[in-house]
Amino acid sequence: MDKTKILLAHGSGGRLTHDLITKHLVQSLSNPLLNKLDDAAVFESKGKTAFTTDSYVVNPIFFPGGNIGKLAVCGTVNDLSVMGAIPKYLSLAFIIEEGLDISALEEIIKSIAAAAKEAGVEIVTGDTKVVNTGKADKIFINTAGVGFIPEGLDISGANARPDDAVIVSGTMGDHGIAIMAQREGLNFKTAVESDCAPLNGLITDMLKVCPRIHVMRDPTRGGLATTLNEIAGQSQVGIELNEESIPVKPAVGGACEALGLDPLYVANEGKIIAIMPEKDAPAVLSAMKAHPYGKDSAIIGRVISPNPGRVSIRTPLGALRILDMQSGELLPRIC
C-alpha cells in the first residue's frame, strides 16, 4: 500500500477515511463546532443571513500566489463579503482523484487553514470523497459559507444609480494570467502572482466610511468587463469607463498582448468593484488605499443613465466603444 498517495479506501468511510479526517482535516482546521464531528454543525443566527456556495476546479491546483485550497476559502468569503455580510462559517467538501499525493493534500489544507484564519471564519462541517483515476482532475473543492449582514446595509447588483462612481480595488487580470502562465506550453516568463485573497477586512474598512455603498462585486471569471455588464443589466443603467484609469500591471499587460487577450476580461480572485454615490467616492477610495489589498485602488468610471444595460469605455485615443460581455472561453490566439 502506497502511504504517500490518496487511495480509493480513503473515501470508503472506513479506518483510512477516519484517519484522513481526524489527522489531516480536524487537526489543522480545529474549532469547537468541527471537533464535535457531528453530522451537521449547529449554531444560532439572528438577523439577515447570507448563504452562498461555489465549486473550485482550477487547473493547475498550485499556482504562483496560491493554490486551490486558498482559492476555495477566499472565493466563498468574498462572495459573502461583497453582499456586506460578515463571513462566519464555511463548509468544505473535497472530491479527490485517487493517486493524489498526500503531501499535496496537506499543503492545500495548510493554505485552507491559513486563509480561514486570516478571514476570521471557521470551517464547521465537511465531506471527503475519493473517485477513480480519471473521474476527477486531481482535486475539486466545494465550499459553502454563511455570513451575517449588519443592520442597515443594502448592497446589490441592482442598486447602481446614475452619477455613482465606479471603483476597483487594484490591478486587473492578475489571477487569470498567473494561471495561464503556469499552464504547460505557455511558458513565457512572467512574474505574475495570483491576487487570491480574502477581502472581508478591506470591505469592512470601506463600509465603515460609507455604509451607503450601492454595489459590490468580485470580478472573477469573465473579469471586469463581464461583471460590469451584469451590474449594468441588473440595475438598468449605463456604465462609462475610462480605460486609462483602469490599473493593470505591466507584466499582465505584456502577457495579454502576447496571448491576444484583453486584461479586462481576465479573472481576478482578490479584487472588488464598488459602486457608490460620487460624493462618497473620495472617502471610500482613501480607506481602500490604506488597506494592503486595496493600495492600487482607482476610480475607473461612472454610472450614467443613457444606454441602460451597456458598458462603454473611453479608449486612450479618445474613442468611445462598447465593452461587451465575454462569450465563450478565453483562449489565447492561435498565432
Partner 1 sequence: MNFIEEFRSSQSGRTLLEYINKRSTKPARFMEFCGGHTVAIFRYGIRQLLPPHIEMLSGPGCPVCVTSTADLDKVIALSRLPGVIICSFGDLLRVPSSRQSLLEVRAEGADVRIVYSTMDALEIARQNPLKKVIFVGIGFETTAPTIAASVIQARNQGLANYYVMSIHKITPPVMRAILDAGETRLSGIICPGHVSSITGSNAWEFIPEEYHLACAVSGFESLDILYCVKSLVDQVEDATPRLDVSYSRAVKPEGNTAALKIMDEVFDICPANWRGIGILPQSGLCLRPEFAAFDAEKNFEIKLSEPSRETPGCLCGEIIKGTRTPLECKLFSKVCTPENPVGPCMVSSEGTCAAYYHYGGKLG
Judged by beta carbon, residue 45 or residue 315, the one nearer partner 1 is 315
Angle at CA of residue 69, ends 298 and 193, nearest 5°: 40
The grid cell for 21 is 479526517
Residue 270 and residue 173: Cα distance in Å, rounded? 10
Residue 332 and residue 335: Cα distance in Å, rounded? 9
Taking contact as CB under 8 A, which single stretch among the options 166-174, 205-213, 266-274, 309-317 is the one that binds partner 1?
309-317
Binds 316, which of partner 1, ligand SF4, none (CB < 5 to 8 A, cut-off by type)?
A: partner 1
Cα 237 to chain centroid distance, Å, stands at: 25
Size of the site for partner 1 (CB under 8 A): 33
Count of CB atoms within 10 A of residue 50's CB?
A: 19
Binds 183, which of partner 1, ligand SF4, none (CB < 5 to 8 A, cut-off by type)?
A: partner 1
Judged by beta carbon, residue 64 or residue 254, the one nearer partner 1 is 254
Helix (H) or strand (E) holding 302: strand 298-304
Strand-by-strand arrangement of the 238-242 sheet: 215-217, 273-277, 164-168, 298-304, 238-242, 311-314, 320-322
Judged by beta carbon, residue 38 or residue 324, the one nearer partner 1 is 324
Taking contact as CB under 8 A, which single stretch among the options 83-91, 94-102, 269-277, 322-330 is the one that binds partner 1?
322-330
Binding mask 276-315 for ligand SF4 (x = CB under 6 A): ----------------------------------------
| Contact yes or no for 332/186 (Cβ under 8 A) | yes
Size of the site for ligand SF4 (CB under 6 A): 3
335 binds ligand SF4 (CB under 6 A): yes
Residue 333 and residue 330: Cα distance in Å, rounded? 9
Cβ 246 to partner 1, closest distance in Å? 12
Contacts of 53 (CB under 8 A, 6+ apart): 76, 142, 143, 144, 145
Cβ 335 to ligand SF4, closest distance in Å? 3
Q: What is the phi/psi pair of residue 241, to 5°?
A: -105, 160
42 binds partner 1 (CB under 8 A): no
Judged by beta carbon, residue 211 or residue 254, the one nearer partner 1 is 254
| Contact yes or no for 169/154 (Cβ under 8 A) | no
Positions 168 through 187 that interact with partner 1 (CB under 8 A): 183-186
327 binds ligand SF4 (CB under 6 A): no
Judged by beta carbon, residue 1 or residue 335, the one nearer ligand SF4 is 335
Residue 335 and residue 201: Cα distance in Å, rounded? 42
The grid cell for 75 is 472565493
Judged by beta carbon, residue 120 or residue 332, the one nearer partner 1 is 332
Positions 177 through 236 that interact with partner 1 (CB under 8 A): 183-186
Residue 201 and residue 145: Cα distance in Å, rounded? 16
Residue 310 and residue 303: Cα distance in Å, rounded? 10
Cβ 274 to partner 1, closest distance in Å? 25
244 binds partner 1 (CB under 8 A): yes
Angle at CA of residue 294, ends 270 and 248, nearest 5°: 70
Taking contact as CB under 6 A, which single stretch among the options 121-129, 167-175, 264-272, 327-335 is the one that binds ligand SF4?
327-335
DSSP structure class, residue 134: T
46 binds ligand SF4 (CB under 6 A): no
Binding footprint of partner 1 on the chain (CB under 8 A): 183-186, 244, 250-251, 253-254, 257, 260, 262, 306-307, 310, 312, 315-322, 324, 327-329, 331-335
Binding footprint of ligand SF4 on the chain (CB under 6 A): 333-335
